[in-house]
Structures are given as structure tokens and as C-alpha cells.
Structure 1
Amino acid sequence: MLVGYARVSSTGQDLAVQEEALRSAGCDRIFSEKRSGRSASDRPALQEAIEFARSGDTILVTRLDRWARSTQDLHNLLARLDEKGVGFTCLAQSGVDTTNSTGKLVLAILGAVAAFETDLRAERQREGIAKAREVPGKYRGRSPSINYAQVRKLHDKGVSPSEIAALLQIGRTSVYRALKC
């Protein structure tokens, strides 16, 4: 049986293109979700697809980045499939097919290249931030999510840290951090 898995990162994106490609490839069952791909453990439809697949089945995805975003996740997921006797195929990267030796080699190479690209992207981002910080006022970072003055004002009125956290919908640790400043 061919089992499809489709994923987009945000609710504003559409799964239709991936689902249609998987149907056209002959998938009997498709699992879909709108979740970030950072961690495989945070994707319920992915876990369902793996649990659903039986020995001799093959899981299909449209692109490798829909399946895993890190080399570690890729290898962990494929190890789970291998334990169950389930194959893995990627439609866009046609050489990725764990049901044969060449496909396994191609997959390992693509995984290494993807990890390399991720490292390069992070390095360029760090360099860009460092350069922006050299120019006064150019890099401000993330806007504060907690109004420290409001936290102190409520505390000065006798409101407890737990109550402040509930009122402002922030964590109690954040309240204590704001009171230290």
C-alpha cells in the first residue's frame, strides 16, 4: 500500500497541491497537517502515518523537506520505517527511495547537503546580525513582549506575581524577571 504524507508550515498555506500529487502517484491513504516541520515529535499526522503503515508499505512525500527538516529527524524517522519494514519515497527527488540501495545512498547524500545548507544559512544570518549591530540603531532585535512598567505598577499596588501573570497572560517567571530589572 502507498501511504502519503503532506505538510505545510502555516495555516495560510494550502495542502491541495501536495495531496493531488500524492493521489496521482497512487496513494491509498494520505495523512496531512499544517504544522511546523522543526520536530517530528510535534507532528501528529506524521506519527499517525508511521503507525498506520505496515510491513511492505511505502510512505510517499512530495518533497524531502515536507518529511524532515534536520538530518537527525530524517535518520530517526527512516530508522522507524526500516524497523517496521516500510519503504520511503520522495516524488520531487526521484532518486530518494529506501526500497533500493541506490535510493538509500542518494538519501544519505541529500541529507548531508541539506544539513550543510542549514549550517550555511545560520552562519550568514549570524554574520548579517553582527554587521547590523555595528550600525547604531539598525538592529533592534525582537520587540519586548512584556511591559515591565505595567508589571512593576501592579506589584506596587499589592497584586501577587501569580495574579499579575494571569492578568497579563504571561508566565510567573517572567513576572519575577521583570521585578528584578
Structure 2
Amino acid sequence: MRIGYARTSTLEQVAGFEAQERELKAAGVEKLYKEQVSSVGDRPELERMLQDLRKGDLLVVTKLDRLARSVHHLGEILRRLDDVGAGLNILGMGIDSTTAGGRLMLNVLGSVAQFEREMMLERQREGIAKAKAEGKYKGRKPKGEPLLDRILAMKAEGLGDTAIGKALGMDRTTVFRVRKAAEAQIE
């Protein structure tokens, strides 16, 4: 069975949503899962669709970015498809993972994306090292230290680290770390 998945990030993207539906139906999709949510949020329809897939099904999407939020996420989806014996067809790229060429292209794209990421991280590390050598890199500004007096006063009032963090708009672990460091200096 050819199963489609369509997604837009916002409710305002009506035209893009309708275009995806038309393209998927033209590609012979028999069942269509659709949702209008950000790729970084929960996607219940994507999850439901992945659970409903059966051996021999073909998942059809118009573009890769409508399905996966990252190369890692794509890898997770492909593993789930492999586990049930289903394939993936990306219309905009002409890729069909049920063919040897399609599988090769997905692997090449994944490798290129991973290479890009590693090169970017390497350049970032080099830039940080250069900035440190020139005395320009100070790291990020401390979040809890400027509020140390308030943290200690709130702790003295009997509040816990979680409550202090909520009141000051910071994580409980930041409150704990700053408080413990200050207490160690006092001892």
C-alpha cells in the first residue's frame, strides 16, 4: 500500500499543505496522514503512521524536510521502515529506497550531511581555539553567579533548589552548582 505523509509547520501554510496533498494523491497514495506542526514539536500523526506501516508498504513524501528533522532522525525512520519491511519514496528527489539506487542515494546523502556537520564542528573548534589564544573568547556568561546573594537568601528561607530556580528563571542544576560552589568557598 502507498501511504503518504504531508506536513507544514504552521496553519497559515495552507497552499503548501494543499500542494503536498495533490502531489501525493497524484503519486497514487491510498492513505494519507497529515499534520500541521513544527518539525521540532511532537508529531502524533507521524508516529501513528509509522506504527501503522506493514510489510510491503511504501511511505511517500513530497520532500525530505517534510518527513525528517535531521539526518539522525531520517536514520531512525529508515530503521523503523526496515524493521517492518516498508520502503520510502521521496518524490522531490526521485528516491525510492526499495531500489538499490535509491538506497545508495539515501546513504550518500546521509554521509554527505554527516561530513558537512563534522567539518562545521571542526571549523568551530578552530575558531574557538584562535579566539582563546587571542584572549577574545571568554565562554558564555555565568547565569547563576550574579544572583548568588538571592539564591543563598532564598535557600536560607527554606526554599529548595527547584523552587529557587523557578523563581529566578533558571535550571535547578544551575542553582545547585552555584550554591555548592559558594558554600565550599565559605568552608
Q: Which has the higher helix share?
A: 2
Equivalent in the alignment of 2:185: none
Contact 1:4 1:60 in 2 (8 A): yes
Q: Which one has the largest radius of gyration?
A: 2
Equivalent in the alignment of 1:151: 151
**Residue identity matched to 2:82:** D
Q: Following the alignment from structure 1 to structure 2, what is the Cα–Cα distance between the partners of residues 116 and 15?
A: 35
Contact 2:60 2:91 in 1 (8 A): yes
Shift of 1:116: 0.8
Q: Percent identity?
A: 33
| Structure 1 residues 140 and 46, CA gap change in structure 2 (3 angstroms) | farther
Greater Cα shift, 81-90 or 109-118: 81-90
For the aligned residue pairs, the C-alpha RMSD in angstroms reads 3.2
**Residue identity matched to 2:34:** F
SS at match of 1:113: helix
Contact 1:5 1:30 in 2 (8 A): yes
**Residue identity matched to 1:30:** Y
Equivalent in the alignment of 1:35: 39
Shift of 1:29: 1.0
TM-score by length of 2: 0.70
Equivalent in the alignment of 2:16: 17
Q: Following the alignment from structure 2 to structure 1, what is the Cα–Cα distance between the partners of residues 17 and 138?
A: 38
| Structure 1 residues 19 and 107, CA gap change in structure 2 (3 angstroms) | farther
Equivalent in the alignment of 1:6: 7
Structure 1 residues not aligned, in runs of 5+: none
How many equivalent pairs are there?
171
Contact 2:55 2:84 in 1 (8 A): yes
| Structure 1 residues 19 and 58, CA gap change in structure 2 (3 angstroms) | farther
Structure 2 residues not aligned, in runs of 5+: 183-187
Matched, 1:48 2:48: yes
